[in-house]
Structures are given as C-alpha cells and as structure tokens.
Amino acid sequence: MERKSTVKRVLMQAKGRLFEEKKLTYSLLMKAVRKSCLCDKEAWWSQKAQEVEKASIDGRLKDTFGILKHLSLKPGRPCCILKDKDGHVLENEDQIIARWTEHFRELLKADVSVFNYGSDFEMCSHLPKNGAGII
C-alpha cells in the first residue's frame, strides 16, 4: 500500500513538472508570436508610409489621400438599423429584404385617383400655346 502511494506521488510530481514545462513553453511561444506580430505591424505601417510618400512625391494626390483615407477609417458598422412595424430590430438579411419589400408594396398601393390628371389638355394648360415664348 505504501509503495502504491509513493508511486502515485512520484507520478503526480512528474505530471506537475510536465505541466509547468508545457506552461513555460506556451508562454515563451506566445511572447514570440506577440513580438512577431508587432514587427509585422510595424513593417506594414512603414510600407504604407513609403507608399504615401512616394505617391506624394510623384504628384499623385488622389492616391495619396486615398491611402490616408483608407488608413484613417474606423471599422465599419452597419449603415442603418432597420426595424419592423412593431419596433423590433431586424438582424437577419432575409428579414430586412422582406421588410423593404413590404414597405415598397405599401408605398405603391397609393390611390390611383391621385395620378388621374384628366385630359392631356388639363395637364398641359400651363404650357405656352403655338410655341409662344420658346426661344
């Protein structure tokens, strides 16, 4: 029995050391990844700065300001939030399309009498007759 507990204790210590070794390896790898990311980011910014400088020197102001605008934009958000008739926010693209469809169907169901102008003569009564006033 004593031998069993000794073996168990030795195994637990080995697992603890193994865990600590893996933890140390992981933390070293994470530091290397962070450092690599920072270096890559710095290289990317340097490249963009050189592109802007070169475009500016070459007189390509459109490219210069295009690059600067692209770099200064904040991450995009949805341009608008669409709600259904009850005021609930629609998040699914299918729901949004269905709501727009519903909106325009209601809009186009307008009373046809609004568009009934009568005869063509009544519609054109404000225009000059026989070309008078036309230069």
Q: Tell me, what's the pLDDT at 135?
A: 47
One pLDDT digit (tens) per residue for the chain, 135 residues: 677 677 677 767 777 777 788 888 888 889 999 999 999 999 999 999 999 999 989 999 998 888 888 888 776 665 678 888 888 888 888 888 888 888 888 888 765 455 555 554 455 555 555 555 444
Domain residue extents for the chain: 2-72, 77-135
pTM to 2 decimals?
0.42
Rounded CA separation 105/85 (Å):
14
Q: Tell me, what's the pLDDT at 42?
A: 94
Say which amino acid occupies 59. Answer: G
Rounded CA separation 55/63 (Å):
6
Question: Which residues lie below 8 Å from residue 61, measured CB to CB, with a gap of 6+?
Answer: 55
Planar angle of CA 117, 131, 120, nearest 5 degrees: 15
- Give the orientation angle of helix 2-57 with respect to helix 61-72, to 10 degrees: 150
